[in-house]
Structure 1
Amino acid sequence: MATTSDEQAAGQHYLVCGIQDCQRNGQFYCNDCHQPMCEQCKDKHQKSPNNKNHDIVLYRQRKHRLPKEKCKLHPTKNVDIFCRECNTPLCLKCFLGKEHKGHEFDDLEEIYAEKYALWQGEFSKIQKNLLPTSEDLKTDIEEDVKEIQNIMESIRTSMKAEAESLKNLVDEVTSNKIKHTYTMEKSLLQMLKSQETTYNDYIKYLGKMSEKFQEYLSTTNQKLLSSNILKLKTIPETSKPVPPVFTAGQFNRDDVAKLLGRVNVPNTEPEKRKIQPMEAVSTPMKFTEKQMEQSKEKSDMKPTLSLSSSVTKVREYSVPGVDSAFHVSADKSGRLWASDDEGNLVLTDLQGNLLQKIKTTGEDDGFHTATQDRGLIYTDQDKKMIYRITPDTRITELIKTGDWTPVSIHSSRINGDILVGMREAKVTRYNNAGKEIQNIQRDNQGQELYKYPHYITENINGDICTSDWNKQAVVVVNKSGQHRFSYTGQGSRFSPYGICTDVLGHILVCEGLNNTVHLLDQDGGFLSFILSEQQGIRSPRGVCVDDENNLYVGQLNNKVTVYKNLE
């Protein structure tokens, strides 16, 4: 069985007092004796008359002992004195010699301790600041490498998609022109066929006339002389057709390049990487249990609702013809389209007067979108069709979505593309002519991105932002379809509805459970509750921003509120 001292030696994890036979914690240090001491031995040590001038400090504040070094002139002596004038270390025997008489001296141990502290400080800077900061900067650079690679790959994908879109447009235009040549050919051939029929009829006529002349020529002279002279019809006149002439288009490589997008490096000053200043380096604090509990309580608190001071309510009106305003779309003329969960879709003017009403199969989804030409595009879930309403209110079929049910739609302000959220959980991009050019369904790990993307919009950087009811999240992918982030609200539950973006790239989304409109930055960071019950908002559902950055919010009670100067 181990003894008590054996146990202490085996379990020792602190510095032991240097006084003989004392095993207590040596938390103090005598700079003159160069040994650690416990508190009891320190008191005894200071009470001795011989030690009354000894410098006793906390162990971590100790002076480091001068390493033993032999004098070059007196090999049996250790150096411990420093001659200022000669700038050289000396032993006691050198100090007493005539050569250094009258010189000024310093305690070599003091100089060593100062130098040690200085180098220790520099070493500490390396370990606590310079090295970690440099490693963080290196990691930051590695992340930038990945980001640049992703951005460039995204640009390449966008360029290919743009080129493919241009090719499709060229094929479409060429196909239409070729169809026109067949129409022209048909018309010319019909004209020639008519001329051919005319001469066939005339030839038959001449045959009949030839038979009559032969009959008369074979009769007696008396009968021939008594007959009237037959008159022949003249040959019908016709015109040769004027064949079409093909005029080749005038274009070159530069013309094609101008049609396509280009990649430029913005003329902006590069942002310098942040380097943590030395004075900001500190040892991590150790919190007490009470402080840790207070910190936990703060983290469990919901964020305080706040209204951006730049949002001012300018008007509010009830939309006629709908029971609620589940989705709103403002067009360029300031008119507003609004829809309810019964499929009623109405157009109103700035005063809320009803201009047009359509019955659709839409529900509580973002199933319509204003276009740049002051028209509207909307979905029909039952027919799996997308319709276009022209500015003069004519309705035409635009896209058939096949086996997929379109529930949300957005017309891009960047390039006119049409983004459609499908109930069976994907997002499809069509060009303005209705040709399918992209499908977004899974992330890089093969996981499904969506469950029910019932509202959709596009940000100024090309990001596709969807409000997904079943995932209880805002799901954002870049233009190439790569997942960027998902936002799940500020509480335990998040019920997202209408979503839009403003001219600064902010994302605004209605939240149904807590009667709020969330304001996010371009990267999904929560900025504030820009609207809440405190501002009279009740069950916000639809949201959009017009060309002047005015904010429209539709509510469950068919009211639409307009806010000015959103920044």
Structure 2
Amino acid sequence: MDENKVGLHYTECDKCRQNVKYFCVPCDLNLCQGCKEEHLRDGTSRSHDVRMYRERYATLFPERCDRHTKKKYIYTKYCRECLVSLCDKCARGHSHRGHEQGDITEAYHRQREKYRKWYQKIQMELLPQCTDKKDHVQKKLERERDLYEDMLNRLNTQAVKVKRLIDEKVAEITTTCTNHWKSQIGTLRTTKGELSSKITHMKNIIENFEDSANHPAKFLMFVKDNPMNELQYPEVCDPPLPSFVEGELDRNMIEKLLGRVETNDLKAFITYSARTEKKTLNVPELTSIRHISCLATNRVWISDNTRLICINLENMEKLHKVSVPKDSYGCHTVNDKDELFFIDIDQQIVKLSNNLQECHPVLKVTKPWEPISVHISTMTNTLLIGMIIPLTKARVVRQSGSGQEEGDLEDVSDAHELYEAPAYITENKNGDVIVSDYKKKAVIAVSSSGRHRFSYRGPPLGHFEELWPRGVCIDNQANILVSNFNSRSGAELHVLDKDGHVLKMVVLDVNLKKLFGMGSDLVKKTFMVGSSSDNTLYASQMSDILA
């Protein structure tokens, strides 16, 4: 028989037919390594007693004594004082004479069951926790490496800009000095030439006057050719001389030009909202809270990944419903007249009147661009629209009320594309346009003219988790609030000042995970937030959140 065709029999896993290594006592399941780990991760079977498959049967393998190998003695006893296994010859030996001894099988089962609790704690608690922490440390290492590389790249970029500006200024001053010198040297050389000519003429008069002494005819001819006219001297002007005024140059000035690295104590940033009066409401017909637009009245527009509804906050009555594109983000906004602007399923911007009766299109976005977010500016009454060409390009544009494009809000001097997925847009009190970009994992701010102001990618070094920004809004002090989808500590908000410096991180006292949509009412000074996991809406006063 061909030995290559002879197979070995092994017991198969009840789930995937791989070689079995474990079995679950409560479920009576044979499991391989991978299925065992998956079985213990499941919430319904996390605490099950999972054992080695060899323990499924009572057969114990005989083990030869290490000290008496020639006659093949087998371990049969256990010394309770020395805590070692013994063969029959060892048990009769001088070293263990008079010691309390017992059957090795009994000692094995007793110690095995006693140790099993420690084994299960390691298997189900300590090892997963340690593995999870290792994964987080690895992510932290990668994030901090990227952060350091980004800082150095930005430093080098600033240094190149400073060097270019210095070179340009040196060239400008050099050109100014050269032109001034050329002008002055021309005037002075002309004056010098005229003076040289006068000096030669006067020397000629003196020489001829002296040579014609005692020669009447010669002298009279000289007088005829050189009458005694008044000699004119060229005016010698003293032009103002340039001077070089040295600028102030010190370490502080260089730091202002290049920037600096700040390392702050993270604990000072993390705060927890107080247990104050708040509302937790369930929004009908929605499966998640992806975006919120607050109205002046006691109404609010809320959307999940396919639906946008208007509800009355007093009785949670649904007043209106429209459809939005699948997996929408910041796809709606309201103006000061309570008119709704939203992206419909045909990828066009539509306006709905405040009485919820009249609906008409405002803007049709031309392919291949697709709108994913919209916000109306209360300062200019223009629409700010986040657009993408899927997996290719992204931009934020400003559109007038008539649908006329007024320009891209992107700093063209930046070497990198500013946006990748501008999912949420809002406007600050100073006119800055604030964009939450979930692919860039950053909150990006540009001025009203499109100049890049800052990009916030998370708190200072030392924070365990990176920022996954979602909903964004502002408060009455022009601070920026952004929800962190990636927080493991709970419902976490990051609060920034208008210049992008992190002020604090707030963990809300609410049972919400994976925060998503946000909205604020600056008149009522209220704040609302929801998550991607359910339809729970959290509402509170801003003073309670940010105190």
* Interval of TM-score (by shorter of Structure 1 and Structure 2): 0.3 to 0.5
Larger Rg: 1
Normalised TM-score (structure 2): 0.48
